[in-house]
Amino acid sequence: MTKQIPFYTDEPSILLNSDYIFELWPTNNMTHEQKLNAITRVITLVTLLGYLFTMNLRILVVGFITNLVIFGMYKTRKPKLVENFEKLTADDVNVKLVEFKEGTTNNPFSNVLLTDIQDEPNRKSAPLAFESEKEITSNIKHAVQKINPGIKNVEKSLYGDKAEMFELDQSNRAFFSTANTKVVSDQTDFINFLYGGMSSSKEFTEDGARMRVANTQRYNLY
């Protein structure tokens, strides 16, 4: 992802950052924040040099006011963020289907079948259903065509308009991808996720002793 360079009011150290300290003039390949930071650097530098040579306080005042104007330009042109997410690139979003076990006409959702335990024990996970919706629907249509060879062109005969496609979507609600789409699930990590760190009064440890003391209140009859 492209690194977002902040405006100096959000991160003051950016003005003296060794990677950007020599950016004293805005160029076309800079972001809006970079350009304003560059102008601020050169104004601050000219102001300090001018004051050292003339010892005139007016130069400091003019430099301060100029930087205030730049800050106002930043605040007025700052884009309003709709969501606090970074911009994703195509490489971040697209996932190659070769990394998954693709669905077929006999198994559109690519769920684990009983035959996979022996025939394909190391099969890959199924692709995410909401990312392969078109492929799932296409496999279902081909399955219907395979079951009903007498119907010509199922795509148009049965699913030719929006109403029929809506009925197809409704009928698919009864089918779903299972939570685990591999033959062997990682049971150890799953158990640790559910019960990891839970102390028991049966353990002869410091935590176990604490639990035994806490549990004694349940057996008091008064």
Between CA 196 and CA 56 the distance in angstroms is 69
The better pLDDT of the pair 128, 143 is held by 143
The secondary element (H helix, E strand) that includes residue 14 is: none
Q: Is the pLDDT of residue 216 over 70?
A: no
Q: What is the pLDDT of residues 158-188, one digit of tens each?
A: 777 788 788 877 877 777 777 778 887 667 7
**Pure H helices in the chain:** 32-54, 57-77, 90-93, 116-119, 133-147, 154-157, 162-171, 187-195, 206-215
C-alpha closest to that of 142 among 104, 196, 86, 92: 104
Between the CA atoms of 114, 117, 118 and 119, what dihedral angle is there, to the nearest 10 degrees?
80
- Predicted confidence at residue 1, as pLDDT, reads 43
Model confidence at 133, pLDDT cuts 50, 70, 90, reads confident
Task: Report the range of poorest mean pLDDT among 7-16, 116-125, 179-188.
Answer: 179-188
Residues 71-117 pLDDT 10s: 888 888 765 544 555 665 655 555 554 578 888 888 888 888 888 88
Handedness of CA 53, 57, 58, 61 (dihedral sign): positive
Q: What is the distance between the alpha carbons of residues 10 and 5, in angstroms, rounded to a whole number? A: 10
